[in-house]
Chains A and B, each alone.
Chain A
Amino acid sequence: MEPILRAQRLRKHYGTGTGLVRAVDDVDLDVASGEALAVVGPSGCGKSTLLHLLGMLDRPDGGEIWLGGERIDRLSETAAARLRRRAVGFVFQAFHLVDELTARENVELPALLAGASPRAARRRAAALLDRVGLAHRAGHLPAQLSGGQRQRVAVARALVNDPGLLLADEPTGNLDTAAAGEVLRLFDELRAEGRTLLIVTHDSRIAAAADRLITMRDGVFVDQTVLGRTGHGTGLGALSGLV
């Protein structure tokens, strides 16, 4: 099956000489359509840079990126923006909601940017806010929402254009356990729906919700774990030792 996202010999270095940081060092990656992939690793291992490169927020120093069969690593700023609108949704650690806009307006934003009519954007935003359980907070500004609520708004915003790929950078990084649980549930539902997810995180819990897990260290992939959806035989019986 053709991967929806493919990166080959992807490279991004910062600094020079002794200060050289190989943030992403000749990485190869294939993400199948409908797959939920988590990239884990200690902070500074290059996983956020990788996400930025794949989402065209940053330019690679070398290598190729293909999204849905289209080469994207050499697109102009404008072309990249146009592609991002319809093909990629982002969820960030710091939520990155637009402070000046209400929850509903934040969700509408990418739809309006993509040229949806105000009415269509409004309808989709309302449906998505309902779906993330925040229909009653639609008119609130981000400052008036809790961290978990903000991140759920951000997820709704990432979904508004129904992108083929959802990129999440430490989506639970700024949240307490309960709020992280809300967001986790949401991502698990998205996975179950068969959305293609790429989550970069050092939260093992959200990583464990993925189908496949890649460990990154010093700019390279060092380990890979496939987490079968049916479990691999541990069974709940084995859990009794844990509780």
Chain B
Amino acid sequence: MQDVVLALLAKEPAHGYELRARLQHALGPLGDDLNAGQVYVTLRRLEKAGLVTVRLVGQTDRPDRKVYELTPTGQERVTRWLADVDRAPRPAPTDLYLKLVAAASSGLADPVDIVDAQRRELLRRLADVQRAALAQPAGSGPALLLEGAVLRLQADLRWLDACAAHWADRPRG
């Protein structure tokens, strides 16, 4: 969550309400239960860690608004995060998706490159699992178990292809 919020600020400074709206727009129905409090808690923690600074902007008819901005340390962390490949056995789709959205909106990385890096990771894993599966005699119990892992990885890879096609079609920004 912290990385996503940081990345969304990379393009331009924004206030909490805007950030929440962007997240909800990207997540669609999955973003419905994202409440304003979660976003503000995250922003406060980032501020405490010195990753963002807050600036008060005066408004004529309402109280002043807090606009959040990345610090150089925050900038560095975003870049690192975008280049980082998820090494979890089964990366959560939402995490990768938000990373791609953030990469596209911040312009700090090409989403297609991120997908390719993730695909390489998954393919390596698929190759490992597959070799293990092929080492088992055909039709054995362990082979069947490994087959399940193979099919899941294949499903993830297919989704990555869909992501690549989605972001390859539209120019970043």
Q: Do chains A and B touch in the complex (CB under 8 A)?
A: yes
B165 touches A208 (CB 8 A): no
Q: How long is the Cα–Cα vector from A222 to B168 in the complex, in angstroms?
A: 12
> What's the A-B contact tally at a CB cutoff of 8 Å?
80
Residue of B122, B124, B125, B130 touching A209 (CB-CB under 8 A): B130
Chain A residues, Cβ within 8 Å of B126: 204-205, 208
A232 contacts B by Cβ under 8 Å: yes
B127 contacts A by Cβ under 8 Å: yes
Given A234-B128, A239-B128, also A223-B138 (CB < 8 A)? no
We find that the number of chain A residues with CB closer than 8 angstroms to chain B is 30
The stretch of B7-15, B40-48, B153-161 in contact with A is B153-161
Which residues of B, 87-140, contact A by the 8 Å Cβ criterion?
88-90, 116, 119-120, 122-132, 134, 138
Interface size class of B (residues with CB under 8 A): 20 to 34
B152 contacts A by Cβ under 8 Å: yes
Q: How long is the Cα–Cα vector from A213 to B127 in the complex, in angstroms?
A: 11
Residue of B119, B147, B149, B154 touching A239 (CB-CB under 8 A): B149
Q: How long is the Cα–Cα vector from A177 to B133 in the complex, in angstroms?
A: 14
How far, in Å, is B62 (CB) from chain A's closest CB?
Answer: 49
B128 touches A222 (CB 8 A): no
Residues on A facing B (Cβ under 8 Å): 42, 177, 181, 184-185, 188, 202, 204-205, 207-209, 213, 215, 217, 222-223, 225, 227, 231-232, 234-236, 238-243
Residues on B facing A (Cβ under 8 Å): 88-90, 116, 119-120, 122-132, 134, 138, 145-154, 157-158, 161, 165, 168
